[in-house]
Structure 1
Amino acid sequence: MYPIAIIITTICSTILIIITMVHLTKSRGQWGNITRLITSMDLSLVCFSQRLTYASNAPPALFRWPWIIELCNQISKELRANIDWIGIKPPSSRPTKLLDYACGDGVASRALAPFMSTVRGMDIASGMVEQYNKMALKAGYTSTKMRAIQADLIDPELTPSPEIDTPGFFDFDVVVMCMALHHIEDPDNMILQLSKRLRPGGILLIIDWVVSSAGSSAQTENRTLGAISRMGFQESEVKSSYDTAGLEDWAWKLTSAPSQVPREIGGEQQLFLARGRKPCS
């Protein structure tokens, strides 16, 4: 199914279910069920923006919404405040490379670019790649320093790109995946594929939501809509994926403050940073 068809099917199914819930619960005064349903189906706009990153072309205007701007600023500040914890060192005589996978418009890339010689983004959506490259130029970076390509490491045939098999897209010092892992059906495989892009001693960094108490039921209901996603992760889950990929030097930490998400689409959420290192031998 083409990406736009997936989105239309998901939206129509969602609307139908919500209308049904309204009809069934209105007379009983159970409006809280509707809120829980919307939350459980992962209709927060942050999640929706990442879904579009994987399935279509997210509108640039999305990143101008005040609370999304605040969230992006929070992520940027957390990344820069944790440079030492992540294990990133300023560029030295040896060129340093960053891969930002599911890069969106490049929030993580721009935050970490000052510490890298070269930054590359990958996204399945051509619209996001275009937006990423525009934002990189706006930030003062040349395409030699920072640029993105359309590519999918899980299903390379979906968006064929000859560049993903070239040396320029391997042996990264840091690979980061920001706010996208919760849309992946098989996190173990995703983390394994990302680890293959690291040089020996390179670092894999994941930023995503900590699972809420409703996370497991949310994932089940999302599967009924054909939109594989989850509301977040427990530390043990992410660590298990890192272990499966053969990464070491595991570390996990929460951001210094919760993220302020509109109440009607989930309310306050907590972000985590997870780090692991590819063995040197």
Structure 2
Amino acid sequence: MSDFTEANREYFDKLATSYTGRFADASRMLASQTVQHRNWISERWTDTEAGKSKEIRMLEYACGPGVVSMSLAPFVTQIIGVDISDNMVAEFNRNASSLGLADKAIGYKADLLAENPAAQEIESACANLDMVTISMALHHFENPSTALKRLAERLNKSGVCYIIDLVAHTDAHGHAHEQHKDDFAEAAHTIKTHGFSSEDMQRFFEGAGLTGFKYEVLSEPLTFSTEERSFSKTVFVARAQRA
């Protein structure tokens, strides 16, 4: 595990138990927008003609407490959550249990982007997937392009990769930057990229061998509240699938 990845692990381990309370509004928005975009993401769900009576397996990588997983749980047959933080995995499994999803959703601690493979149980669980999703975590990845390549390899034919993250703001020279750097001051050392444009995401997906690219900037902002202030960020959803 690199020093940067370790910094992320330490930060999210400390944040895990307070995450649900601190980011309740943001989590509700992410869950709502995901469900609203369900048929935009894929036509294969347990309640659609394309997915009816089929096994639909989903991986949420850098899953945290499993906001996207829990929102899509009614429409898939199996969910695997993976995170590098022990405490976030514990939150994922606790949420799955409290929602009566323990027989469908399970979280593991692992780094699927490391050179060394994960334990055999985890590698087996994270293969032959119909969907991989990353929600509000790609900007924490040391190398987003490489990450999407490695995760795309785990998809079945026509399997979908679905991303939610921050929209890049650019300066006069076209360089991406964080519009209000103090908003995430406590997490600044864990952030690698200050948002992604449509062109960024299309390049990442195409580099991972994925097609059918779609990108949409959401009109509803993602709102964060702290004891001192509230602030909002513009986010996007993007998807592509394995040919």
When normalised by structure 1's length, the TM-score is: 0.72
More displaced stretch, 72-81 vs 254-263 = 254-263
- Structure 1 residue identity aligned to 2:85: A
Shift of 1:258: 1.3
Please say if 1:62 is aligned against 2:25. no
Contact map agreement 1:53 1:123 (CA 8 A) in 2: no
Is the alpha carbon distance of 1:5 and 1:182 closer, same or farther for their aligned partners in structure 2, counting shifts above 3 Å? closer
**Pairs within 5 Å for 1:63-102:** 63-65=20-22, 68-91=23-46, 92-102=52-62
Contact map agreement 1:173 1:203 (CA 8 A) in 2: yes
More displaced stretch, 132-141 vs 258-267 = 258-267
What's 1:46 paired with?
A: none
Contact map agreement 2:31 2:71 (CA 8 A) in 1: yes
Is the alpha carbon distance of 1:2 and 1:175 closer, same or farther for their aligned partners in structure 2, counting shifts above 3 Å? closer
The alignment-based identity, stated in percent, is 27
1 or 2, which has the higher helix percentage? 1
Please say if 1:236 is aligned against 2:196. no
Alignment partners' CA distance in 2, 1:117 and 1:153? 22
Is the alpha carbon distance of 1:160 and 1:278 closer, same or farther for their aligned partners in structure 2, counting shifts above 3 Å? closer
What's 1:138 paired with?
A: 98
Please say if 1:116 is aligned against 2:72. no
Alignment partners' CA distance in 2, 1:261 and 1:192? 31
What's 1:204 paired with?
A: 161
Shift of 1:260: 2.2
What's 1:270 paired with?
A: 234
- Structure 1 residue identity aligned to 2:112: L
**Pairs within 5 Å for 1:1-281:** 7=7, 51-52=8-9, 56-65=13-22, 68-91=23-46, 92-142=52-102, 144-155=103-114, 157=116, 160-166=118-124, 168-213=125-170, 216-217=176-177, 227-262=190-225, 267-279=231-243
Shift of 1:62: 2.5
Q: Deviations over 1:54-91 (max 9, x none)?
A: 763533123112xx101000000000111110114332
1 or 2, which has the higher strand percentage? 2
Alignment partners' CA distance in 2, 1:4 and 1:206? 21
- Structure 2 residue identity aligned to 1:108: V
RMSD: 2.9
Is the alpha carbon distance of 1:53 and 1:129 closer, same or farther for their aligned partners in structure 2, counting shifts above 3 Å? farther
- Structure 1 residue identity aligned to 2:234: Q
Gaps of 5+ in 2: 47-51
SS in 2 for 1:111: helix
Corresponding pairs, count: 228
Shift of 1:262: 4.6
When normalised by structure 2's length, the TM-score is: 0.83
- Structure 1 residue identity aligned to 2:121: E
- Structure 2 residue identity aligned to 1:82: H
Q: Deviations over 1:77-108 (max 9, x none)?
A: 00011111011433222211110000000001
